[in-house]
Amino acid sequence: MTTSIHTNTSAMIALQNLNRTNDQLAATQSRVNTGLKVQGARDNAAVWAVAQGQRADRGSLEAVTTSLNRATSIADVSLAAGEQISDILLELKQKATAAADPSASTATRTSYNDEFQALLSSIDSFANNAIFDGANILDGSATTTLNFLASADGAETIALDRQNLTVAGLSLTGSTLTSQANATTALAAVNAAITTSSARLAELGAQSKQIERHTTYVGKLSDALEAGIGNLVDADLAKESARLQALQVQQQLGVQALSIANQAPQVILSLFKG
């Protein structure tokens, strides 16, 4: 190797190695600081692109979960009101049965009828006030099915059918207990209403359970996506910690090697001493 004061090959090699170590040390420190081994497309374009796609899907699943939670709330409010209406129908049957008694007096039937009409008003009140976020599926104001998001791409939906549990929807409009004949007719109408309301509440309960199961599934799917993203981009901090310490030692050795290489040309001075 030529000894020269203009070109110090050893110093250049030492500097290249030190720069490479510094670059690796900076990358490792960045992974330790952020907890990510892939922070952007520059680190690993293919992995970053896949991770971004999964992040988009997970964001969509959050919207799906919000939609399903709204569906659950609407169903819960409706079921609470529906169960109260079902209990009222049992009371109506009791009043109608009592009023259909041939031995009942006019005054007694009038008293039963007053209670009967008050209970009918309660049915409408419960049905009309079963509202969550502006949606009511019991008041008979609309017939279209409510659909909620069920998939990240928006292609699938889950339905919540409207169940009319008003007095009109249960065919109890005009029912009175003012006479034995009217009471007998009202009793038949109430029995039919009990059957109808039970069937409608059973359907609503089944759909509510379906929504609950789907919400659980979406939650698990979201967790799986999050774990998958982590597998792609998260740094192994235990490994990075060990690597960081090794690179710090390499950096110190590199600095010393460069210092020694920079001093090498001084040897030439000894050649010119008299």
Clarify whether residues 226 and 249 are in a common domain. Answer: no
Q: Determine contact, residues 18/252, Cβ cutoff 8 Å.
A: no
What is the pLDDT at residue 6? Answer: 67
pLDDT in tens, 22-78: 888 887 787 788 788 888 888 788 988 888 888 888 889 999 999 999 999 999 999
Q: CA dist 239 to 39, 229, 256, Å?
A: 17, 19, 26
Binned at pLDDT 50, 70 and 90, residue 242 comes out as confident
State the residue range of the domain holding 223. 65-231
Clarify whether residues 129 and 249 are in a common domain. Answer: no
Q: Determine contact, residues 114/126, Cβ cutoff 8 Å.
A: no
Binned at pLDDT 50, 70 and 90, residue 262 comes out as confident
Instruction: Write the CATH number for 209.
Output: 1.20.1330.10
In b/e form, how buried is each residue of 222-232, taking b as 16+ CB within 10 angstroms? beebeeebeeb
- The SS3 call for residue 177 is coil
Clarify whether residues 204 and 245 are in a common domain. Answer: no
Strand 157-160 versus strand 146-149 pairing type: antiparallel
